[in-house]
Amino acid sequence: MFFIIGLGLGDCKDITVKGLEIIKKCERVYLEAYTSILTCGTDALEEFYGRKLIIADRDLVEQGADDILEGAQNSDVGLLVVGDPFGATTHSDLVLRAKEKGIKTQVVHNASILNAIGCCGLQLYSFGETVSIPYWTETWQPESFFDKIITNFKNKLHTLCLLGNIIAALKHMYIIIMLQDIKVKEPTLESLTKKKKEYMPPRFMSVNEACQQLTQILQKRLLKNDKLEITEESLCVGLARVGSEKQQIIACTLQEMCKIDLGGPLHSLVIASPDLHPLELEYLDQFRLKL
């Protein structure tokens, strides 16, 4: 059996009882370590689970799926995923690969940012399409996510902006270069032309970086005389390390958020609807920026 087990929002004790029981009986247990990160660290997980984990980096998950699934027809193999297993398309692909090989699969769900975002007081049923904001480069500055934010805003819906779950493809010098806004194990552009990969240092997008990119888009579109519902005074909510003891939430304007430092990763950003329920306003008040 192949198990994909959600770990929740990052603490080693966030795992479900069912998930922990499965981990203890598996012959091999992999820890997926690139679509998200843990707040507690691998050592704390191994100590709590009472067993060694195999780190599954991006190369192993994307190119070595057969190695992960090897032997799962006759023994139990587990893959641990931060959040919920279906928070990233990579894990859906693994389930399909397992089924192609005739391997039985079981998914153990857990909390993810998609439902835990309610901690800021904005009501979950008032959220529209979720978007991902990638890091820009000098030659690649996509804006498609902004149009989705505008659509949600027009429909009086909140937008959850993920600052850590997108992988975008960029064609550069006839090579497909993979870029992602969580840059945990990213090959440098130069090394892609070599046989040996060299990796960028880890990098995690913050709410202020995301808002700086959003304001740049606003400014460019204003120069084109576009009529925009969203302005630099629109209400945003920045969240960091949701679910941990060091969780932080702040509500302020888009312009103010450009200067906010919420500390270490992971961060998420919400562009609030222009039409807030009185209960949402009351709840958000505790997180308002105090100048």
How would DSSP label each residue in 228-291? -S--TTSEEEEEESTTSTT-EEEEEEHHHHTT----SSPEEEEE--SS--HHHHHHHGGGB---
Cβ neighbours around 71 below 10 Å, total: 14
- For the chain, what is the mean pLDDT? 85
Q: Which residues of the chain have pLDDT under 50?
A: 165-184, 192, 199
6 is in an annotated binding site: no
Structure confidence at residue 174 (pLDDT): 28
Alpha helices in the chain (DSSP H): 17-25, 42-49, 58-63, 65-69, 89-100, 113-116, 144-154, 207-223, 254-257, 278-284
Q: What is the pLDDT of residues 156-207, one digit of tens each?
A: 999 999 985 333 323 322 222 333 344 445 555 555 455 555 545 557 899 9
Q: Per the annotation, does 167 bind a ligand? A: no
**Cα gap 32→4, rounded to integer Å:** 10
CATH of domain 2-111: 3.40.1010.10
CATH 3.30.950.10: which residues of the chain?
114-286
Considering the entire predicted model, what is its pTM? 0.84
- Record the tokens describing residue 191, joined without a space: 């090394």
Architecture of the CATH domain 114-286? 2-Layer Sandwich (3.30)
Is residue 92 a known part of a binding site? no
Which residue spans of the chain are classified as CATH 3.40.1010.10? 2-111
Q: Is 260 annotated as a binding residue?
A: no
